[in-house]
Chain A
Amino acid sequence: MKNRIRIIDNATGQPVEAELFDEVTVEHFIETQQEWRPIVLKAARQLAARGSHQLIPQHFHWDWTTKAPELNVLANTFYGIRYENKLQGLMKLETVGQFCSCRLPEQAGNALVYVDYVEVAPWNLKPLMSSLGEKARYNAIGSRLIEAAVLKSKEEDCKGRIGLHSLPITESFYAKACRMTPVGRDPAKQNLLWLEYTPEQAENFLTGAR
């Protein structure tokens, strides 16, 4: 599956056409290691040197290549966003598993699509690029990935229901920018905040309704 989508080029403030695809391979994971990781590490060191420990990305240790064996698992779906021949974002979804069940009281027990991993290229993250004296390049990558997760949920008859464990530093994005409902801390998952969408909230996100 390949879809033409639009993201924002910060240099002009205008939408540009990118590609969202699900044929993610091990080579994409290697690309993240080779192209993303050195920048993340460099920025993390800059932030640490300045004493801005709270801004050190909480995902800097990730290694997508360890996810390679999961590529062939049917219950997993991977999505990537490519623009200018570079990977701009990557996401892993699970449609079956221990976290694929709703927790909000009004929809508890219903099936949902679990967002297991999301990462955006470091050159699209303002806190990292600022530490390196540069500007973030493309915007709305995270929103496009969450949109893909909701659409996948609809395809799977989960009616747009998705759930995820947010890192502390990303809670406001999911709660405020995506308007997901924070349900509570999950002791089974490092006490991370669990958020989820009802079908109505998911639809509002997709259409922009307030």
Chain B
Amino acid sequence: MKFNSDPEWLKRQAALEDNCFVSVGGLVSAVEDLEQQSQQAITSRAVFVNLLNLTRREHELSWEQFSQKLDVDLTELIGIANDESYKPTPRTVTKIAHFLHVPAEKLFILSGLARAHDRQFQEAALRFAARSQPVKALSSEEHEALKEFVKFLCER
């Protein structure tokens, strides 16, 4: 590809463009949609934290041991588990996905880094959230919920 290297062309084109909107794509929907999407991200995030917590407990690991297993900084892991506004890095989410043997794209959605446009995915995530309230010991129900959800993530 040979791009125009003439500075005069560039300046003229810049003057015409003048930092205006240049977006191409679909029409705008309502602002409320955006708020709704942000609510969905919060729900997904709660599911992500539950998934992380149950996995850690299933392997009977402390947070410190878990961070070593994942090769993720402990501060980052604690941040994810305790701070709703904390944004994990794509690299960390990829490492967690690798540990869980699930596709990284699915965890990007759960961690709030990407958004799902798949109703089934959202319903499965909500089902998991409803069944995985944290208790001291991992119950067989939690064990089943975790197993079922991880299986779902792997299959789809």
Given A61-B28, A68-B114, is A118 in contact with B3 using a C-beta cutoff of 8 Å?
no
Give the shortest distance, in Å, between A56 (CB) and chain B (any CB): 7
CB within 8 Å of B: which of A131-173? 136, 139-145, 147-148, 151-152, 155, 164-167, 169-170, 172-173
| A65, B114: Cβ atoms closer than 8 Å | yes
| B31, A140: Cβ atoms closer than 8 Å | no
B3, B9, B21, B90: the one contacting A167 at CB < 8 Å is: B21
| A127, B21: Cβ atoms closer than 8 Å | yes
Decide yes or no whether A48 CB sits under 8 A from chain B: yes
Decide yes or no whether A103 CB sits under 8 A from chain B: no
**Which interface class (under 10, 10 to 19, 20 to 34, 35 or more) fits A?**
35 or more
Given A61-B29, A66-B115, A177-B13, is A126 in contact with B90 using a C-beta cutoff of 8 Å?
no
> What separation, in Å, do the CA atoms of A148 and B3 have in the docked complex?
8
Decide yes or no whether B18 CB sits under 8 A from chain A: yes
| A60, B24: Cβ atoms closer than 8 Å | no
Q: Which residues in A have some Cβ–Cβ distance to B below 8 Å? A: 1, 3, 5-8, 10, 15, 20, 26-27, 29-30, 33-34, 41, 44, 48, 56-63, 65-66, 68, 115-120, 124-127, 129, 136, 139-145, 147-148, 151-152, 155, 164-167, 169-170, 172-173, 176-177, 190, 192, 206-208
**With A65-B114, A139-B17, A170-B24 given, can you name 18 additional A-B contacts, CB distance below 8 Å?**
A6-B10, A8-B11, A15-B10, A15-B11, A33-B115, A57-B23, A58-B23, A65-B108, A117-B25, A126-B18, A129-B19, A141-B17, A143-B14, A148-B1, A166-B24, A173-B17, A208-B8, A208-B12
